[in-house]
């Protein structure tokens, strides 16, 4: 019997799980070697100040406001860190960053990468009937998720609004969901108004470390409030003037879910750059094309005008939806038009 060949994503997941086991074995050793230093979990990122969850000498939960040492790479919510007290009550300093698994990051305005959340295994991309989905933003998120090798799920929040949309607009949203369902991405429809779909979402988040991402105004904070009714979470509204969302969440924050698992809320965006990825990584981020990678006639094929290019031949044959092909070209061109305008 021939051996079953693993995909690149499967290999990344296996390597990550093996690395997780090694990290769990070394955490206690790292803590023992740090003396009065402790290990904590970054819960909130407020610029230069990070809120770290740890435990006091009696084992009780403890929250500490920490700065990080200048020689440590940028830290994200979800990171596990080593910290020590500064002598001021409730304050500390982060002295080390423990090895992390999957990191969701985006380019910063300074030319580097800005970490968003660490140690994830699920990205929940939230859409809504209003504001209308920005399709290229959705594909940019999915390319980033595919590149780090973790799961993605699409949630259509405010699904009760579909009945109030013009028929053509409602059909467009439905067609979008069917496109991505056909690609193998799990789809959920939720409403914080009538609580539909919330039980299914709660089940999907159990024992996961997930992040809610999406454009402003799709109701990420409302979903979080429905999942954690006792948490103090600000809720925003849609601007009636332009049907765009207003930023409710301004900092990334991690919450522990009652049923087990962690959920990170992130600020809404209208852009998510990918210019730090190579063209090959972008092509690989569109999963319908991934099986064709490496099958071109020329090893250095740029998938442009080369003869016998497996990817362009497949696209011409209809393997990829026209909207996805258009988004792929725009991402490769790095035109910055994430907002679709």
**Residues 59 and 152 placed together within one structural domain of the fold:** no
**pLDDT tens digits, one per residue of 284-313:** 999 999 998 888 999 888 888 889 999 889
**Residues 257 and 139 placed together within one structural domain of the fold:** yes
What mean pLDDT comes out for the span 103-118? 86
Q: What is the mean pLDDT of the chain?
A: 84
- Lowest-confidence region among 74-78, 79-83, 104-108, 185-189: 104-108
> What is the reported pLDDT for 17?
56
Domain termination site, one of 41, 71, 97: 97
Q: Which domain holds residue 150?
A: 103-265
The conformation of residue 193, written as its DSSP 8-state character, comes to: T
Distance, CA of 171 to CA of 34 (rounded, Å):
58
Give, for 2, the enclosing helix (H) or strand (E).
none
The CATH number given to whatever domain includes residue 41 is: 2.40.50.140
Task: Look at residue 273 and tell me if it is in a domain.
Answer: no
**Residues 107 and 215 placed together within one structural domain of the fold:** yes
What mean pLDDT comes out for the span 42-63? 90
**Residues 242 and 325 placed together within one structural domain of the fold:** no
Cβ–Cβ under 8 Å, residues 95 and 83? yes
Q: How confident is the model at residue 25 (pLDDT cuts 50, 70, 90)?
A: very low
Distance, CA of 222 to CA of 134 (rounded, Å):
20
**pLDDT tens digits, one per residue of 122-181:** 999 999 999 999 999 999 999 999 999 999 999 999 999 999 999 999 999 999 999 999
Domain termination site, one of 234, 265, 296: 265
> What is the reported pLDDT for 19?
56
Task: Look at residue 2 and tell me if it is in a domain.
Answer: no
Distance, CA of 137 to CA of 270 (rounded, Å):
7
Read out DSSP for 156-190? E-SGGGGGGS-HHHHHHHHHHHHHHHHTT--EEE-
**Residues 197 and 82 placed together within one structural domain of the fold:** no
**pLDDT tens digits, one per residue of 205-260:** 999 999 999 998 999 989 999 999 877 554 444 434 444 444 445 688 999 999 89
Task: Look at residue 176 and tell me if it is in a domain.
Answer: yes
Domain termination site, one of 97, 124, 140: 97
* Strand-strand pairing, 209-213 and 122-127: parallel
């Amino acid at each position: 019997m021939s051996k079953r060949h693993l995909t690149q994503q499967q290999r990344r997941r296996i390597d990550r799980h093996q690395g997780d086991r090694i990290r769990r074995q070394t955490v206690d050793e790292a803590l023992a070697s740090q003396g009065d230093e402790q290990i904590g979990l970054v819960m909130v990122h407020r610029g230069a100040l990070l809120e770290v969850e740890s435990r006091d000498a009696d084992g009780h939960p403890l929250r500490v406001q920490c700065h990080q040492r200048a020689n440590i790479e940028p830290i994200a919510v979800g990171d596990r860190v080593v910290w020590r007290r500064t002598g001021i009550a409730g304050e500390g300093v982060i002295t080390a960053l423990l090895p992390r698994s999957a990191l969701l990051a985006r380019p910063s305005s300074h030319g580097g990468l800005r970490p968003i959340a660490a140690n994830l295994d699920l990205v929940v991309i939230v859409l809504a009937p209003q504001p209308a989905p920005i399709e290229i933003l959705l594909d940019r998120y999915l390319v980033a998720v595919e590149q780090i090798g973790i799961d993605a799920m699409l949630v259509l929040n405010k699904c009760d609004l579909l009945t109030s949309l013009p028929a053509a607009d409602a059909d467009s949203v439905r067609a979008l969901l069917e496109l991505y369902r056909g690609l193998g991405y799990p789809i959920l429809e939720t409403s914080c108004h009538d609580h539909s779909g919330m039980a299914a979402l709660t089940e999907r988040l159990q024992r996961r470390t997930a992040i809610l991402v999406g454009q402003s105004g799709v109701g990420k904070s409302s979903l979080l409030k429905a999942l954690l009714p006792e948490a103090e979470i600000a809720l925003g509204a849609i601007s009636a003037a332009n049907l765009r969302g207003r930023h409710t969440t301004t900092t990334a924050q991690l919450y522990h879910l009652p049923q087990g698992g962690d959920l990170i809320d992130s600020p809404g965006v209208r852009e998510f750059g990918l210019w730090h990825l190579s063209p090959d990584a972008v092509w690989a981020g569109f999963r319908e094309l991934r099986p064709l990678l490496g099958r071109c006639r020329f090893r250095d094929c740029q998938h442009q005008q080369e003869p016998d290019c497996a990817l362009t031949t497949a696209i011409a044959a209809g393997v990829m939806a026209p909207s996805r092909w258009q988004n792929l070209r725009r991402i490769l061109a790095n035109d910055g038009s994430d907002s679709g305008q």
